[in-house]
Structure 1
Amino acid sequence: MHAAKAVDQRAREEIERAVAEAETLTSAELVCAIATESGRYDRAESLIGFALALVALSLAHVALAEPAADWMSGPSLALGWETAAAVLGFIAGSVLASYVHPLRRMVVGAREMEQEVQRAARSVFAQASVALTRGGTGVLIYVSLFERMVLILADSRAYQALGAASVESLRDLAVQHLRRGEYVETFIRTLRAAGERLAASLPAQRQSNPDELSNKVLVFPVRP
């Protein structure tokens, strides 16, 4: 699933309204981001390409060994056909893995995906200036579609207000909706829960509650 399709313009507006509503409860600043994938995973694509190359090579070898193929089964011709089959198989497998995410996900380790999601989320945290609020109250909700993972990063005061257990429960809530394909609800439910929990320790200021960070959803078609 492409990030831009998962949250189209209408969905983004709905999420942005949810951000604004959550921020009426708390002085924390909430930022939402979604990425098609967090890593490139070239190794996985190469492995699938290699596997398909072996299949293509085997099929070519069998086909060239049959009597009907005598006209093109000389040593030089056979080697040429088999080499071409292997190369085309590798290319086809690599391209297929690039577009068919379930296939690629089969050969990518969970640890590698976790590392890439953490790297990408930290990059977005920095790019979006989530750590630059006056009170250290920024919170990032980062969703990565290929990995089907969510990471919630909170700046110092926001993290103290939530606590590790609450951050984990918010992440688990988001993942539940994400894995059901409920992309908008992934953000909206998490935003509501985060706003309510943050309100206890970081309530909205009656006199002044400036909107320091944009409410716009950050969409990354490729890895951040």
Structure 2
Amino acid sequence: MDEADRQAIAEAVRRAESGTAGEIVVVIEEQASHYRSVPIVLALSLALLVPWPLMWLTMVSAPRIFLIQLIAAVLLLAGLGWRGRGGRFVPGFVKRKRAHQAALREFTMRGLARTRNRTGVLLYVARQERFAEVLADSGIEAKIDAERWRMIIEPLVKEAAAGRLTEGVIAAVGAIGAVLADHVPAGSDDVDELPNKVIVL
């Protein structure tokens, strides 16, 4: 994402916020988690299976079986640790859970829970996980059905998968702004409480 993309998203946020008291923050993260523990757990679990065929099908001694199991564990750790970078062997539900936790963390860190009327909205995207989510603060959450957010997220994920992340984010921000304008329109004393720039991690 180059500077022109960042500026285009920031401008989309500014336009979306012009008709609402809501505050929109966009966070795009390359990867929600490093998943370092997953290759370790997988390698050690596979290594536990190594002794059984050796005990049933061969006459190898117990110390030698233990040594073979240890060597298998080391090789599996090395192989899975190298090939599993980026969460390749991580189940989808684990990726979604980690990405959701990262979104909650960003919501708090970016000050969305400290706006004057609790009208902060986070658009969070985790590229590696192919995950996107809208999180809204209490001043908005009760007014807008979760299905509305899902209908905004689905096209964004499709655009990102097609290599058009910037376009997808801009469209999503516009749609979020339209929903917010219906439920929390801008007041005469409305001020821009949070920066409009996209946060890329």
TM-score range, shorter chain: 0.7 to 0.9
Structure 2: runs of 5 or more not aligned = 48-69
**Cα distance, 1:136 vs structure 2:** 1.0
Match for 1:20: what amino acid? R
CA distance in 2, matches of 1:219, 1:209: 27
Does the CA-based 8 Å contact 2:25-2:123 persist in structure 1? Answer: yes
Q: Is 1:37 aligned with 2:31? A: yes
Question: What secondary structure is seen at the aligned counterpart in 2 of 1:184?
Answer: helix
Structure 1: runs of 5 or more not aligned = 1-6, 54-82
Question: What secondary structure is seen at the aligned counterpart in 1 of 2:143?
Answer: helix
CA distance in 1, matches of 2:179, 2:145: 10
CA distance in 2, matches of 1:91, 1:108: 16
**Larger displacement relative to structure 2 (31-40 or 154-163):** 154-163
Q: Matched residue pairs, number?
A: 185
Between structures 1 and 2, the one with greater helix share: 1
1:94 equivalent in structure 2? 81
Change in Cα spacing, 1:13 to 1:172, as seen in structure 2 (3 Å) is: same
CA distance in 2, matches of 1:86, 1:117: 29
Change in Cα spacing, 1:119 to 1:89, as seen in structure 2 (3 Å) is: closer
Match for 1:28: what amino acid? G
**Larger displacement relative to structure 2 (165-174 or 87-96):** 87-96
CA distance in 2, matches of 1:34, 1:89: 33
Q: How does the TM-score come out when normalised to structure 2?
A: 0.79
Does the CA-based 8 Å contact 1:15-1:184 persist in structure 2? Answer: yes
CA RMSD of aligned residues (A): 2.9
CA distance in 1, matches of 2:133, 2:76: 37
Match for 1:129: what amino acid? G
Does the CA-based 8 Å contact 2:43-2:73 persist in structure 1? Answer: no
Change in Cα spacing, 1:114 to 1:84, as seen in structure 2 (3 Å) is: closer
Q: How does the TM-score come out when normalised to structure 1?
A: 0.71
